[in-house]
Chain A
Amino acid sequence: MNEIGSTPAGGLLRAALLEHRAALLRYLIARRVPPEEAEDVLQDLVVKLENHKSGPVAEPRAYLYRMAENLLLDRIRSDGRRRGREQAWVAARAGAALDADDRPTAEEILIARERLALVSAALAGLPERTLFVFRRYRIEGVPQREIAAELGISLSAVEKHLQKAYQVVVEARQKLDAENAGPQRPIEAEGQ
């Protein structure tokens, strides 16, 4: 009855983080995080590990990379949101204080709906089998290997279906972003 606070799995991960800190930092910098912010991300990772509560992790190193990547994704999303919000507010009422709470603007809701509709339309245009493979992989979380076995096709055939599906999804999303951003394209889309 006295096991509160025991997190052996979290402890192992923290040890792994200390050991592989340099490699993770290198990864973050390769993902174009400015060096001083990369340290912050690692700090966030430490905090996450404090709360780590699931069972033992088979491959701590890969797991740490995955966690770092998820943190980056959160950052990418909140940056995009902040930028979108700032532009919208500046356009709507110049000089007003920035929205302090997280309530979406009417425009944001509209964009979210538009985005869903556009991605839906793009997916609906995919061949049935490609869509099946994609749904199985992305929504139901089935590994590629298993999908290949189910359909009696090769692993590389499964990958081709997924490659095609992702192409369509990324294109649909970019089309919408380009429309909404207009002349003020997000900064990160440059540099190509």
Chain B
Amino acid sequence: MTEKLQASIRAEAISWHLRLRDGEAGDWEAFVDWLEADPARSTAYDEVVRADAALSPEAFPAVAANDDWPAQARGRRRFAIAWGLAALAAILLLIFIPFPWLGAGADRYEVATAAGEQRSVPLGDGSMVALNGGTRLILDRRNPRFAELAAGEATFTIRHDGAAPFVVVAGDHRIHDLGTAFNLVHEGDRLMVEVIEGAVRYDPHAAAISLSAGQTLAIHERGGRPLVGRRDPHAIAGWRHGRLSYRAEPLERVARDLGRSLGAPVSVDPAIERQTVTGSLRLAGGADAVVTRFAATLGMEVRRRGNGWHIAPPSPALR
């Protein structure tokens, strides 16, 4: 095949790749017709998608801080797609605001969410991290396959790459992703790993505990033993869809999840913290309403405590 012909097939393959990003069914059918006419076309298309998948934000030259193009663009942009907005915010953070004071060198960046705020951060390569409220995630510009969950909760949806396993560090804990989606909670000395899809390996160099979809690993205290459990993958990281789901899980856990998603602490009376909860609750309608509705379903009482809430058994009517 001549080089010229090859170049023209490649140009066509790129055009198809562009067209198909938001392609309708008719576009895909036309694409099939194009492919079927010459087997070399599928190969050319493979090359394009493979090169595209390997692109990451790190591959792009840094934008100068005085470059006014993106600012101009932002001003005119209609924020039609929610995740587009989140992605933009995250990228601007990554590109414009280095956090050299983190101590790990100028290549590390922090992406953080305020209490009650959620945000998705594309990591390039098709990988994605969704941050729940009150979360601090540290990324490394030189190493796109690394993240540190300093605090909070995040769901990682990672593209598998055997040449570079994705490594997540949380406190003293280390998790290797084996091409997967998983949710991670890191609060003080507590750690919870929940695998939605694929597999991860906890503490790969020592304990090397492999977890697959529907498996969870919890550590409740500093130096504590990792406890492996199960959870319906559908129920994991429900906060991303505004709904928390549980099957026989302790109230105390539900309260912590609620607190992170609503942006203010929810505490539970020790007398009922081991009580289990099954079912799902919507996070819509304002934090106060969510907590009140939840407590009412359980037949419990809720009071304001500090900037958050406290759930307790109904106080016995005047003794």
In the complex with contacts A102-B162, A131-B60, A191-B39, A143-B234 CB distance below 8 A: no
In the complex with contacts A131-B60, A150-B77, A26-B32 CB distance below 8 A: yes
The answer, among B18, B165, B243, for a CB contact under 8 Å with A163, is: B18
| Contact call A27/B28, Cβ cutoff below 8 A | yes
A116 to B101 alpha-carbon distance, docked (Å): 26
Interface residues of B in 240-287 (CB under 8 A from A): 241, 243, 245, 247, 278-281
In the complex with contacts A115-B54, A139-B122, A167-B14, A108-B163 CB distance below 8 A: yes
| Contact call B60/A139, Cβ cutoff below 8 A | yes
| Contact call A3/B280, Cβ cutoff below 8 A | yes
Most chain B CB within a 10 A radius of its CB, from A108, A139, A149, A191? A139
Q: Could you say which residues of chain A place their CB within 8 Å of the CB of B28?
A: 27, 61-62, 65
B4 in the interface, Cβ–Cβ < 8 Å? Answer: no
A138 in the interface, Cβ–Cβ < 8 Å? Answer: yes
The answer, among B15, B44, B70, B234, for a CB contact under 8 Å with A5, is: B234
Q: Could you say which residues of chain A place their CB within 8 Å of the CB of B48?
A: 166, 170
| Contact call A81/B87, Cβ cutoff below 8 A | no
| Total chain B interface residues with beta-carbon distance under 8 A | 86
A192 to B42 alpha-carbon distance, docked (Å): 10
A75 to B117 alpha-carbon distance, docked (Å): 36
Q: Could you say which residues of chain A place their CB within 8 Å of the CB of B17?
A: 166
Interface residues of A in 86-133 (CB under 8 A from B): 102-104, 108-109, 111-112, 115-116, 119-120, 123-124, 131-132
| Contact call B84/A140, Cβ cutoff below 8 A | yes
A174 in the interface, Cβ–Cβ < 8 Å? Answer: yes
Identify the closest chain B residue to A61 (Cβ).
Answer: B25
| Contact call B165/A104, Cβ cutoff below 8 A | yes
A69 to B73 alpha-carbon distance, docked (Å): 31
In the complex with contacts A51-B196, A141-B83, A192-B43, A136-B73 CB distance below 8 A: yes
Query: Taking the nearest CB of chain A, how far is it from the CB of B224, in angstroms?
Result: 26
A150 to B77 alpha-carbon distance, docked (Å): 7
B119 in the interface, Cβ–Cβ < 8 Å? Answer: no
Identify the closest chain A residue to B7 (Cβ).
Answer: A167
A62 to B31 alpha-carbon distance, docked (Å): 12
| Contact call B234/A169, Cβ cutoff below 8 A | no
In the complex with contacts A78-B162, A170-B10, A170-B14, A119-B40 CB distance below 8 A: no
Q: Is the interface of B mostly helix, strand, loop or mixed?
A: helix
Interface residues of A in 44-72 (CB under 8 A from B): 51, 53-55, 59, 61-62, 65-66, 69
| Contact call A76/B46, Cβ cutoff below 8 A | yes
B140 in the interface, Cβ–Cβ < 8 Å? Answer: no
B1 in the interface, Cβ–Cβ < 8 Å? Answer: yes
Query: Taking the nearest CB of chain B, how far is it from the CB of A141, in angstroms?
Result: 5
Query: Taking the nearest CB of chain A, how far is it from the CB of B70, in angstroms?
Result: 8
Q: Could you say which residues of chain B place their CB within 8 Å of the CB of A7?
A: 234
The answer, among A54, A141, A159, for a CB contact under 8 Å with B122, is: A141
| Contact call A173/B35, Cβ cutoff below 8 A | no
| Contact call A132/B162, Cβ cutoff below 8 A | no
A1 to B1 alpha-carbon distance, docked (Å): 63
Most chain A CB within a 10 A radius of its CB, from B25, B57, B81? B25
> Nearest 10 A-B pairs (CB), nearest first?
A1-B279, A61-B25, A108-B163, A30-B35, A65-B28, A173-B51, A81-B162, A166-B14, A170-B51, A150-B73
In the complex, besides A139-B55, A143-B22, A170-B14, 18 extra interface pairs with C-beta distance below 8 angstroms are A1-B281, A3-B245, A4-B232, A61-B28, A62-B27, A66-B23, A76-B50, A102-B162, A111-B163, A119-B55, A120-B60, A141-B87, A150-B72, A166-B51, A169-B52, A169-B55, A174-B51, A191-B43
What is the interface of chain A, defined by CB distance below 8 A to chain B? Answer: 1-5, 7, 23, 26-27, 30-32, 51, 53-55, 59, 61-62, 65-66, 69, 73-74, 76-78, 80-82, 84-85, 102-104, 108-109, 111-112, 115-116, 119-120, 123-124, 131-132, 135-136, 138-144, 146, 149-151, 159, 162-163, 166-167, 169-170, 172-174, 188-189, 191-192
Q: Jot down 20 A-B pairs with beta carbons below 8 A, ordered by A.
A: A30-B32, A51-B233, A80-B50, A81-B163, A108-B163, A108-B164, A112-B163, A115-B54, A120-B61, A136-B73, A138-B52, A139-B87, A139-B122, A141-B84, A141-B122, A159-B15, A162-B14, A169-B52, A170-B48, A192-B44
